[in-house]
A and B are shown apart, each in its own frame.
Chain A
Amino acid sequence: MAEKVLMKGNEAIAEAAILAGCRHYFGYPITPQTEIAAYMAKKMPKIGGCFLQAESEVAAINMVYGVAGTGKRVMTSSSSPGISLKAEGLSYLAGSDLPSLVVNVQRGGPGLGGIQPSQSDYFQATKGGGHGDFRMIVLAPSSVQEMADLTIKGFDLAEKYRMTSMILADGTMGQMMEPVSLEAPELNEYDKSWAVTGTKCERNKNIINSLSLVPEELERLNFERYERYKAIEENEVMYEEYMMDDAEICISAFGIAARVAKNAINAARKEGIKAGLIRPITLWPFPNEAFRKAADKVDCFISVELSMGQMIEDIRLASECKKPVYLCNRVGGMIPSPEMVLESIKAHSKGGTK
């Protein structure tokens, strides 16, 4: 285990990306993720890498598309309004089956919104990253250590499945400082015979492309892509269970909300209420099985979110609406307090007020 250092979440992402072999970063300034670009701007020139501040988010994601086409590890980062601008590029990356890592340090919306933490891009990340049928692997860190670990994991999964991994963090995760241990991972080797690096006049040309004018062909490509997605759903689901063995109330939360929820669960337990937590680490693929199983045991679910209730829909689907699912939320940059979550737990427990 490497020595622990105190770092901001955003910096941990940047350093982890470098350790994972990423040597190309393109971005455009936006709060609250600017530390990532600042870190890259400092480090990349010293290690033979490329940091480039693009003229827009649109340009940045297309620069990512270019490097990704050559088979090298590449990333961009932004925050909510900037991710909307990248939506076009995310769709093209998916259509061309290119690996990339995209970080969204979410802030409140819609529109220009605010600059305080939010989780209101859940739908965008898990269901609507851009036009057309496609998915992104969506990873939700809940600590600075996970900001680093999931960045490394995200690069690996992106290459393994030739698609975009998105780190869905929030302003709190980006800005908070925690001890983190960083080590260069063993890198898996994946086939890159599809990459455009010049034919060297030794092979037929490669084409990076998402255009397919023959409907039968475009349909086939979509079905093939979803076969790959199916493998991800079967093999790559990650989640944490906390005190779920005897839980009667299941809290669900990710990112900063999960940390608040844990405090509330501890407090509830002290008052004799058996609460537990399922914390999805992959938001896509969603831990459906964990919720399906929990639905047979618990009395109800409470989704704690920094949104108007987005993940709650996936909980309802996964639990097949067998048990009620309640929402405990703050939005606009506000964070639910442990007390607020505890009140919600009490209200929905046996003999509670609701």
Chain B
Amino acid sequence: MVVFDKPKSLADVPLHYCPGCTHGIIHRLVAEAIDELGIEGKTIGVAPVGCSVLAYNYFTCDMVEAAHGRAPAVATGLKRSDPDNHIVFTYQGDGDLASIGMAETVHAAARNENITIIFVNNAIYGMTGGQMAPTSLPGQVTQTSPYGRDTSHCGFPVKVSEMLSQLDGAGYIERVAVNNVKNVRNAKKAIKKAFQNQIDKKGFSLIEVISTCPTNWGMTPEKALEWVEEKMIPYYPLGVYKDRDADNKAE
């Protein structure tokens, strides 16, 4: 009996991610959700610009590489092309989604675009070598905030889940983390639900996944997981920020 296997939707190729980076876990959770829902044949994924720019090599479904930040707009086109037969997801980092692509993100949510967004928040620009991100914490040292993020000079982090949950259009917004087994299980549940919502035509779903960047944080993988628990999660509390379906049922 096979008790552990590679998901069918995950390509059997080496990933380029740094040792200890949690992108691999999140990729796997997305692939597991696609497998379990049996939607591999109708799924189209959109890769961003950033560390996961090569995600189009890692999933076995049809894939599109978008310009920096434009994934929700590209996903809108892919979805509207054949709304009944295309399951469309984007996989985006914090610079991509919350900085250069903020307009596309907000308006896709406002339109209740029936797509699934996997938003990987590791509070830094990884691919370009560790610059300050829109989600970098106050005081966080990065290449472009070498003395720590000074909020009097460059403002405060963007809390994407809190912000988007204010929009009537947003259907399901949850923040999860992948720093321990319990959180990984929760993340899986949320990601699967975000795809199920799309199948059920429930509209815009976004799962914010708190992730790590040991390389650019300058930490061991183990220390990075601790930093998520001690610094990231207190600033970015986990939980469901919006669930229109549940809210409607409760009323």
A interface vs B, CB < 8 Å? 24, 26, 50, 52, 54-56, 58-60, 62-70, 72, 74, 88-89, 92, 96, 196-202, 205-211
Q: A70-B82, A200-B41, A209-B56 are in contact. Are A59 and B62 (CB under 8 A)?
A: no
Between-chain CB contacts (< 8 Å), 6 pairs: A52-B76, A65-B67, A67-B77, A70-B86, A92-B67, A198-B85
Closest to A206 in B: B62
Whether the pair B104, A196 counts as a contact (CB closer than 8 A) is: no
Whether the pair A211, B53 counts as a contact (CB closer than 8 A) is: yes
Chain B nearest CB: distance from A290 CB in Å? 38
Please classify the interface of chain B as helix (H, G, I), strand (E, B), loop, or mixed, using the class held by over half of its residues: helix
Whether the pair B76, A63 counts as a contact (CB closer than 8 A) is: yes
B140 close to chain A: CB less than 8 A: no
B interface vs A, CB < 8 Å? 40-44, 53-54, 56-57, 59-67, 70, 73-82, 85-87, 103-104, 106-107
Whether the pair A66, B73 counts as a contact (CB closer than 8 A) is: yes
Whether the pair B44, A196 counts as a contact (CB closer than 8 A) is: yes
CB < 8 Å neighbour of A62 from B41, B53, B60, B73: B73
Whether the pair A205, B73 counts as a contact (CB closer than 8 A) is: no
Chain A nearest CB: distance from B37 CB in Å? 13
Tell me, in angstroms, the Cα distance from A92 to B40 when the chains sit together.
26
Tell me, in angstroms, the Cα distance from A72 to B85 when the chains sit together.
14
Tell me, in angstroms, the Cα distance from A91 to B198 when the chains sit together.
31
Whether the pair A59, B107 counts as a contact (CB closer than 8 A) is: yes
Tell me, in angstroms, the Cα distance from A52 to B53 when the chains sit together.
27
Whether the pair A63, B73 counts as a contact (CB closer than 8 A) is: yes
Tell me, in angstroms, the Cα distance from A60 to B76 when the chains sit together.
10
Closest to B67 in A: A92
Tell me, in angstroms, the Cα distance from A214 to B246 when the chains sit together.
48
Whether the pair A207, B56 counts as a contact (CB closer than 8 A) is: yes
Tell me, in angstroms, the Cα distance from A60 to B104 when the chains sit together.
10
Whether the pair A58, B62 counts as a contact (CB closer than 8 A) is: no
Tell me, in angstroms, the Cα distance from A209 to B2 when the chains sit together.
36
Chain B nearest CB: distance from A101 CB in Å? 14
Chain B nearest CB: distance from A63 CB in Å? 4
Q: A196-B64, A211-B53 are in contact. Are A70 and B40 (CB under 8 A)?
A: no
Chain A nearest CB: distance from B93 CB in Å? 15
Whether the pair A205, B61 counts as a contact (CB closer than 8 A) is: yes
- B62: which A residues are within 8 A, CB to CB? 196-199, 205-207
Whether the pair B61, A199 counts as a contact (CB closer than 8 A) is: yes
CB < 8 Å neighbour of B81 from A59, A67, A209: A67
Chain B nearest CB: distance from A163 CB in Å? 17
Q: A198-B43, A205-B62 are in contact. Are A62 and B67 (CB under 8 A)?
A: yes
Whether the pair B41, A199 counts as a contact (CB closer than 8 A) is: yes
Chain B nearest CB: distance from A267 CB in Å? 50
Closest to A51 in B: B80
CB < 8 Å neighbour of B78 from A26, A66, A96: A66
Closest to B78 in A: A66
Whether the pair A197, B64 counts as a contact (CB closer than 8 A) is: no
Chain B nearest CB: distance from A332 CB in Å? 31
Whether the pair A65, B60 counts as a contact (CB closer than 8 A) is: no
Closest to A98 in B: B64
Whether the pair B65, A62 counts as a contact (CB closer than 8 A) is: no
Tell me, in angstroms, the Cα distance from A216 to B106 when the chains sit together.
39
**Residue among B73, B85, B107 having the largest count of chain A Cβ atoms under 10 Å:** B73
- A58: which B residues are within 8 A, CB to CB? 70, 73, 103-104
Closest to A26 in B: B77
- A60: which B residues are within 8 A, CB to CB? 73
CB < 8 Å neighbour of A69 from B57, B61, B64, B106: B64
Chain B nearest CB: distance from A25 CB in Å? 10
Chain B nearest CB: distance from A277 CB in Å? 41
Whether the pair A63, B74 counts as a contact (CB closer than 8 A) is: yes
Whether the pair B78, A62 counts as a contact (CB closer than 8 A) is: no
Chain A nearest CB: distance from B71 CB in Å? 8
- A197: which B residues are within 8 A, CB to CB? 44, 62, 82, 85-86
- B85: which A residues are within 8 A, CB to CB? 197-198
**Residue among A62, A209, A211 having the largest count of chain B Cβ atoms under 10 Å:** A62
- A52: which B residues are within 8 A, CB to CB? 76, 80
Q: A55-B103, A211-B65 are in contact. Are A69 and B70 (CB under 8 A)?
A: no
- A209: which B residues are within 8 A, CB to CB? 56, 63-65
**Residue among B81, B87, B104 having the largest count of chain A Cβ atoms under 10 Å:** B81
Closest to A91 in B: B67
Given A55-B106, A66-B78, 6 new contacts (CB under 8 A): A55-B104, A199-B62, A201-B41, A207-B63, A207-B65, A208-B64
Tell me, in angstroms, the Cα distance from A43 to B169 when the chains sit together.
25
- A198: which B residues are within 8 A, CB to CB? 41-44, 61-62, 85-87
Whether the pair B78, A70 counts as a contact (CB closer than 8 A) is: yes
CB < 8 Å neighbour of B67 from A54, A74, A88, A202: A88
Whether the pair B40, A199 counts as a contact (CB closer than 8 A) is: yes
